[in-house]
Amino acid sequence: MDRTFASDNYAGVHPEVLAAIAAVNTGHEISYGEDSVTERLQEVVKREFGERAEAFPVFNGTGANVISLTSVLPRWGALVTTSTSHMHTDEGGAPEKTAALKLFPVPTPDGKLTPELLATEAWGFGDEHRAQPLAVSIAQTTELGTLYQPDEIRAIADAAHALGMTVHLDGSRLWNAAAALGVPFRAFTTDAGVDILSLGATKNGALAAEAIVVLNPDNVDGIVYLRKTAMQLASKMRFLSAQLLALFDDGLGLRSAQHANAMAARLRAAIEGTPGLSFSQKTEANAIFGVLDNAVADRIRARYRFYDWNRARGEVRWMTAFDTTEADVDAFAAAIREELAR
């Protein structure tokens, strides 16, 4: 398939990540995470997120989210998140079906929570008739491609902690956020009050390798058991850990994310102001949300694959990836302008 603008999941595995997998494919190593590669990953995670941080590699983001939430919520607990969050809209009900959690989705125009929006569902504590809102989850970047500043996350975490709630961060595009913010990971995670996060790597060039990162073990319990019962414990874990290490080493993950972000900015600049096209969200990382006539979108889609976001209002999503080239962007932008001009 030619280059598309449908999802950063369409991209292949980064060549340097593939090389990292091959590099650890020698000899025997102890299974289930007692290998030297996973041991080194723990050292790097502590360097990036703080001395109390611990990584638990898993196979996919849904598994990371479900296990994370199960570890911070009792059976009577509920999660406050946005109505556009991945776990609410795109995980097939896994948090509800697998973890038996109640979700309290909060509508928000830009995919971001605030302390004020959190308060709309963080209530009823002690009421036996209401599931108890004991955790909050935000995404960085959000499903709408928007970005939290560190102080915005800190404000949410402070409000949540004051209510006795735990803070989870869905970081499926965490490297894109770090690249856009230009600050260390811990500046908008550990230091901002996040307790546990799902560390995404697949969208940034990995192959079936994500991780749960526990930042505050005081508020998390049972990860080591939950990962196994959720069928997310890899026997040959060194091959997952090697991929995560490759993204951390020599700034590969940041470079890849910076490139994806830059390609999105290039695309937006190339089509900004084109008659018949508007934008529903800021372009802050590697996602562009455009609004145009459905018939025009369908003509463009005959040449380049991408997804409708909300067809009722003509909203589409265009994504760039670590392997998107300037030539890809320029050709796609020309196609958009051409079809809009017809």
pLDDT > 70 in the chain, percent: 100
User: What are the pLDDT digits (tens) for 150-173?
Assistant: 999 999 999 999 999 999 999 999
Does residue 2 have a pLDDT over 80? no
Cα–Cα distance, 280 to 294 (Å, whole number): 15
Cα–Cα distance, 265 to 287 (Å, whole number): 9
Domains of the chain: 15-250 (3.40.640.10), 252-341 (3.90.1150.10)
Q: Which of 203, 234, 188 is nearest to 41 (CA)?
A: 234
Q: Which of 133, 130, 124, 123 is nearest to 79 (CA)?
A: 133
Q: Which of 164, 173, 215, 217 is nearest to 192 (CA)?
A: 215
Does residue 263 have a pLDDT over 80? yes
What is residue 1's predicted lDDT score, i.e. its pLDDT?
Answer: 61
Beta bridge partners of 168: 137, 196
CA angle 94, 96, 99 (to 5 degrees): 80
What is residue 180's predicted lDDT score, i.e. its pLDDT?
Answer: 98
Q: What's the predicted TM-score (pTM) here?
A: 0.96
Residue 112, amino acid: K
Residue written as token pair 């073990």:
217
Tell me the C-alpha to C-alpha distance, in Å, between residue 91 and each of 74, 84, 104, 144, 168. 21, 12, 15, 16, 16
What is residue 21's predicted lDDT score, i.e. its pLDDT?
Answer: 98
User: What are the pLDDT digits (tens) for 203-240?
Assistant: 999 999 999 999 999 999 999 999 999 999 999 999 99
Q: Three-state SS for 129?
A: coil
What is residue 3's predicted lDDT score, i.e. its pLDDT?
Answer: 79
Mean pLDDT confidence for 307-334: 97
Mean pLDDT confidence for 295-305: 96
Does residue 57 have a pLDDT over 90? yes
> Across the chain, what does the average pLDDT equal?
97
What is residue 98's predicted lDDT score, i.e. its pLDDT?
Answer: 87
Mean pLDDT confidence for 69-76: 96
Does residue 309 have a pLDDT over 90? yes
Cα–Cα distance, 134 to 83 (Å, whole number): 17
Mean pLDDT confidence for 18-23: 98
Of 1-15, 62-76, 213-227, the one with minimum mean pLDDT is 1-15
